[in-house]
Amino acid sequence: MGTAVQGGEARRLLIMSSVVVVISLIFVLSFFRSCANRDPYSGYTVIYSNLELKDSADVVSVLKDQKIPYQIRDGGATIAVPKEKADDARLILAQKNLPIGGSVGWEIFNESKLGTTDFDRRIQLIRAISGELARTIRRIDAVQDARVQVVIPQTTLFEATQVPVTASVLLQLKPGRRLSKEQINGIVLLVSRSVENLRPENVSIVDIYGNILNGPESVTPEMTSVMPVIPVQKQEEKPRFEIIKPEQKEIVTTNEIAPPIKPEAVVTKEVVIPLGKTSEEKALLALKAKEEMEDKLSSIAQKIVNRFYPPNSILVKVSLQLEDYKPVNNKKKKPIVKSEMELFNENIKKMTIIILVDNRFNLTPQLKKITVDMVTSALPFYKLRGDEIIIKQVPFHYANIARPEMFTTESSVAVGFPEQGQPSAKSKSNVSFLIE
């Protein structure tokens, strides 16, 4: 009897232990299965995506310093942090100007470096403008990424032609998105209004596939309405001043500055001042004429001095000061016809001639006087009007040393760079050739 009771209890314990083992196995298997199917990204939220590798490295470095957990996804292009710390992470990164988006903006000027040259500052300015424009264009809804290249030519003291400012924009659009014509024109206006002296027609926009998104036809009149457009009459291009002089083998110098050139010595043509122009338009026309007149007079003077100076050893620049613009009371309401010489005498208040000579050149007082007389006799220089002429010696880093054979040529006047600051015998003979 007792044996049967013990056998029943043992069987009951065996069944209970088997049930416990089965339940434990089911629980363990369920736990591992849930762990295997759990989303590894659960509890994390993306704070930045489509990052450059440099930006990702900077962001991760800051998160490590702040001891904020993070996850790197998409090969380093995406950074995720716990949801409860996402706002704090964004604020901390924004305080450190991260991420910069692969471009540098105005923060490039936050740190000043010793020994920075003007060239370095100019390059930094171009980088800052390009970077800020790229960041702004990225804010457009259909744009995923943008790159901007701005070209600002370096201006020189005596530049014959002005190279225009240009800009190129490379766009990466979001998948399935396109930009409308109005949006493209908006980008053109945004770039042109953000860079000094940049005209809308000098802005090019392409996508990452090389397709041109804008062209000359995209520049509308509204886009150029605020640009300083100077109306120019369509007519045959002619020089404003043509100096007619007989061939001279002698140059007679006096103590007085040469008198102004006579009107009959200049080939003049009639200029029609159109009606219906506002004061601003007439002022712009006057400025345009001033620039053309300065270029023409500078070219005339430069050609004269180039005849008896070595190459790249002298520069001449003519600067004109205009009279204050005064409206003309035209009661007859007819176009005013005047000669260019009349307009010249009426509008020019003062002429300043600047002559720069290489400091390696032995500029004797006699040669200096001859140079001044040559230039003033070729231009409408009027001393009583207050005109000035300035001649200075400055270092020319690109000056070419005159070749020895230049000193033996009798048909042209050439003065070289004598040693020890003393004129050579041949240079003296060349100078005397001018005044014989």
Whole domain around residue 37: which residue ranges?
Answer: 22-101
Task: Average the pLDDT over 35-40 and give the result.
Answer: 57
pLDDT exceeds 60 at position 296: yes
pTM of the model: 0.40
In whole angstroms, give the CA distance from residue 352 to residue 267.
23
Category of 365 on φ-ψ map: left (φ > 0), alpha (ψ -120 to 50) or beta:
alpha
pLDDT greater at residue 259 or residue 75: 75
Q: What is the pLDDT of residue 199?
A: 92
pLDDT exceeds 60 at position 218: no
167: nearest Cα among 214, 113, 108, 97: 214
In whole angstroms, give the CA distance from residue 52 to residue 101.
7
pLDDT greater at residue 146 or residue 425: 146
pLDDT greater at residue 10 or residue 368: 368
32/122 same-domain check: no
Evaluate whether residue 11 is within a structural domain: no
Range picked from 18-27, 80-89, 106-115, 259-268 for highest mean pLDDT: 80-89
Tokens of 129: 């403008």
70/138 same-domain check: no
123/193 same-domain check: yes
97/72 same-domain check: yes
Judge contact between 320 and 293, C-beta under 8 A: yes
303/385 same-domain check: yes
- Contacts of 374 by beta carbon, 8 Å cutoff, 6+ apart: 251, 304, 305
Evaluate whether residue 246 is within a structural domain: no
77/118 same-domain check: no
Q: Which of 4-8, 54-58, 208-212 has the lowest mean pLDDT?
A: 4-8
60/156 same-domain check: no
Q: Across the beta sheet with 78-82, what order do the strands follow?
A: 44-48, 78-82, 71-73
Evaluate whether residue 250 is within a structural domain: no
Per-residue pLDDT of 122-131, as tens digits, reads: 888 888 899 8
120/202 same-domain check: yes
Q: What is the pLDDT of residue 353?
A: 93
Evaluate whether residue 368 is within a structural domain: yes
Residue 321 neighbours by CB distance under 10 Å: 13
Residue 387 neighbours by CB distance under 10 Å: 21
Evaluate whether residue 75 is within a structural domain: yes
Query: Which CATH number goes with the domain that contains 377?
Result: 3.30.300.20
In whole angstroms, give the CA distance from residue 46 to residue 81.
7
Per-residue pLDDT of 152-183, as tens digits, reads: 887 765 555 678 899 999 999 988 889 999 99
Per-residue pLDDT of 360-369, as tens digits, reads: 888 888 888 8
